[in-house]
Homo-oligomer: A and B are copies of this chain.
Amino acid sequence: MQPFRILIVDDHAHAREGIRDILEEYEDFIIVGEGTNGLEAIELTEKLMPDIVLMDIGMPVMDGLEATKQIKLQFPYVKIVVITVSDDITDLFDALKKGAQGYLLKNLQSEVWYDYLRAFALDEVPMSKEIAFQILKEFPQETSITKPDTPLSARELEVLQLVAKGLSNRDISAQLFISEHTVKSHLKNILSKLHLENRVQLTSYAFQNGLMN
């Protein structure tokens, strides 16, 4: 059995060291490279073709979420595990939507890391326990459909539907007799609540969730 090829991406040198120390204990893994930001992550992935990318989120130049998206777009077979110190659920949430398959907390025992990554590499993909139940809370019925953290207000739903009909912010403002600023404000809140990025994704969401007619 060949060792799994790992790429570590984190802007903090000491964080990379910590991970390296853990993984070097085990012969199942070999660290093929290290990057310090999202852009490097993409370049190194193309050059090294690792089995797994361990990806930090908050990084300069390009963050880990964007890098995850790009890598999954170009190299769908490369697996990505997002690593983070916080156990903030929204990070995980967004990472999974970008295509990450896994999520690991940096402050776990090395045995946990080993067990997790090994199972992960073998496609058994368990989640670290602390967050597994939170995932289930967010993705209730094995659906990949986004569920709002907070329900949309009536006004927000109204704006959402007009957006999904293809109206511009200006058109919506005219329709609802409010300023374009207000429309933008509502839209910003809607996108934030639904963890979406733009009006196209929102439109897609609206149709897939039966919010239109």
Contact = CB atoms under 8 A, between A and B. Distances in A.
Contacts of A79: none
B200 A164 contact: yes
Contact of A73 (B74, B174, B204): B174
Interface of A: 69-70, 73-74, 163-166, 168, 171, 174-175, 196-201, 203-204, 207-208, 212
5 contacts: A164-B204, A168-B198, A200-B200, A203-B203, A207-B212
Nearest to A198: B166
A171 B203 contact: no
A164 to B, nearest CB: 6
Chain A at the B interface: SS class: helix
A16 B171 CA distance: 29
The 6 A-B pairs with the shortest beta carbon distances in the complex, nearest first, are A166-B201, A207-B207, A203-B203, A166-B200, A200-B203, A73-B175
Nearest to A172: B73
Contacts of A208: 207
Nearest to A199: B200
A204 B166 CA distance: 7
A167 to B, nearest CB: 8
B201 A204 contact: no
Contact of A70 (B73, B174, B198): B174
Nearest to A203: B203
A110 to B, nearest CB: 36
B74 A165 contact: no
Contacts of A199: 200
A72 to B, nearest CB: 10
Contacts of A165: 201, 204
B174 A74 contact: yes
Given A165-B201, A166-B200, 17 more contacts: A73-B171, A73-B174, A73-B175, A164-B200, A164-B204, A166-B196, A166-B201, A168-B198, A199-B200, A200-B200, A200-B203, A203-B203, A203-B204, A203-B207, A204-B207, A204-B212, A207-B207
Most B-side CB within 10 Å, residue of A165, A197, A201: A201
